[in-house]
Amino acid sequence: MELRVLLLLLLCFPGLHAQKTVAEESRPEGSTFSLQCPYTAQVGRQNQKAWCRDREGQCEIVVQTTNPTRDWYPKQATNGKVTIEDNPKLRMVSISMTNLQAEDSGTYYCAYITEVPWYQPLKTIMLQVYKEVQKDELDSLSVPIKYDNLVSSMDRITWCRREGETECVPLVTRQLYEIRRNSRVTEDRVWIQDDYWERTVTITMQKLQAQDTGVYLFALYRASHYFTNLEVRLSVSKRTQQHTAKELGSVSVQCPYSAPDYGALSKAWCKVGDRETCTTLISTDSRPSRNRQKPQQGRVMIWDDTQQGIVTITMEKLQAHDSGMYWCVLNDPRRVFRMVEVTLSVLKEVPGTILPDTAGTSHTTPTASTSAPSFSSNVNTFILLSVVLSLLFILVLISLITLCVRRYKQLKRRGTRQAEDIYDIPEDTAQLGSTERMESPKVDSKDLDYVTLNFKSRLSPEDPVYCNVESSQTHRKPKDENVEYATIALKELPTNNKV
């Protein structure tokens, strides 16, 4: 507890002389910081102004104005990404720092230089430049921190997690010589390495989980003063999957991981219960586990491809009670580390039901060996085939009826024309006194008789009239000619010309 309180005091209140208040400023990496420091009339325009970084209570000059003058014009100076400007008329010193980096974190103050020379603070701030890091579960976080030549092997390095507003819980604390001697120091999932030649300390956190989300601080300090202060704002996201399946169907889940880092570790498939307790259903080896259960009637299978870094879990003959949340986990001897969180929904079989397919959601259809889905599929196919055949039969029947009607109408029109040609005789040709010759159409039918009548306008009783009569209508002898002739005598017609 004393270490936690001491660390917090060192981070927030470093030793500075002649200061009354310390303002805190927090900025993300890559941003710009600006500050204005007013001064009173007692501070002459001939005094140089400086922007200092506190080093064990001493001013480490970052940038300062040029030689003092008695004019009233603003004086400006730049050193790298830091600019200072003194405006005597406004009695204001302005500071600007661009492209901030984590190593810029520290305590700074505006100051004016007296004749001693001595740097008198005008305004002091604690600048915190933080890293924003986004990671997924099972990823690793690696943070390199550079330090200067003032750091000795006896200085202490601390990596802690902020809890609340006033406490920072150490995850690992070591003196620099211990780290150099052992190459690296490991505490649980955190280890520290030091590169003496590059003057860099690297903090690494492995097997990140969603609950690791938070604010972390790095401090390198000696006695009551720190040299480097770094804040990391870490956000760890779950890898999630959603699957939907039908009863008696199956589902297959793939959980990727880093093969070089975790290929040799055991993997497990567990179901999440109350308070996020996870009961193991199956694992890739036979090592005992207090939550381990035997595979449920062989319905759950697991296979680990250590070359590709993919764990595949298959669940068959699903039931409604299989719905719920599952985890793919690294089955570490001390604890489990979640790889993927899977939400499974098992739906009851309803004929004609289509599984919902939402964005970001995968679903699994039943296998071909399942009887209920197969029967439903056969019934649907039979109904569809029957409807198609019925429609085809109706179309063929309509076509036949249409053709028959057309044929009937054509035959009817032909018969009417033939009857008109044979039996219709114009009235003019029937009148006596006409000299026209009247003949019936030539038809090949043997059932028709042909009669030829020749009329003259004026007939005498002596004039003969000839008539051809079918041989069947006369008495004939065998081998007689086929036509007999008759003589018909006509009387003179009445004056009204009617027969």
Centroid of chain to Cα 462? 118
- Measured CA to CA in angstroms, residue 292 lies from 119, 287, 301, 304, 402 at distances of 68, 9, 14, 18, 77
Domains in the chain with CATH codes: 2-235 (2.60.40.10), 240-363 (2.60.40.10), 429-499 (no CATH)
- CA distances for 293 relative to 251, 297, 315, 493, angstroms: 20, 11, 15, 132
Instruction: Give the residue ranges of DSSP H helices in 66-151.
Output: none
Let me know: does 270 contact 327? Beta carbons within 8 Å: yes
pLDDT of the chain, 499 residues: tens digit per residue: 334 434 444 444 333 333 346 788 999 999 999 999 999 888 877 788 999 998 878 889 999 988 766 677 888 899 999 999 999 889 999 999 999 998 888 899 999 888 776 888 999 999 989 999 999 999 999 999 887 777 788 888 889 999 987 788 999 888 888 887 776 777 788 988 888 888 888 999 999 999 999 999 988 777 666 666 788 999 999 999 999 999 999 999 999 999 998 998 999 999 998 877 889 999 987 444 444 444 555 799 999 999 999 999 999 999 999 999 999 999 877 788 999 999 999 998 766 555 554 433 333 333 333 344 444 556 678 888 888 899 999 999 999 999 899 888 888 777 665 555 554 444 444 443 434 444 444 444 444 455 555 555 454 555 555 555 555 554 444 445 455 555 555 555 555 444 4
Tokens describing residue 128? 């915190």
95: CB partners within 8 A, 6+ apart: 33, 34, 35, 36, 37, 51, 82, 83, 84, 110
**pTM higher than 0.85:** no
Query: Which residues make Cβ contacts (< 8 Å) with residue 302, sequence separation at least 6?
Result: 267, 268, 269, 282, 283, 284, 311, 312, 313, 314
d(CA 398, CA 100): 86
Tokens standing for residue 327: 């985890």
Q: Quick one: residue 58, left, alpha or beta (phi over 0 = left, psi -120 to 50 = alpha)?
A: beta
Say how many Å lie between the first and final Cα of the chain, rounded: 152
Rounded Cα gap, residues 203 and 193, in angstroms: 7
Contacts of 7 (CB under 8 A, 6+ apart): 158, 160, 168, 170, 219
CB 338 within 8 A of CB 329: yes
CA distance 211 to 223: 33
User: Tell me, what amino acid is at 329?
Assistant: V
The strand ranges marked E within 165-286 are: 167-175, 184-187, 190-195, 200-205, 214-222, 225-237, 240-246, 251-256, 267-272, 278-283
Task: Report d(CA 44, CA 51) in Å as an integer.
Answer: 17
Q: Encode 143-182: b = buried (16+ Cβ within 10 Å), e = exposed.
A: bebebeeebeeebbbbbbbbeeeeebeebbbbebeebbee
374 by DSSP, 3-state: which?
A: helix
Residues pairing with 108 in the sheet: 53, 125
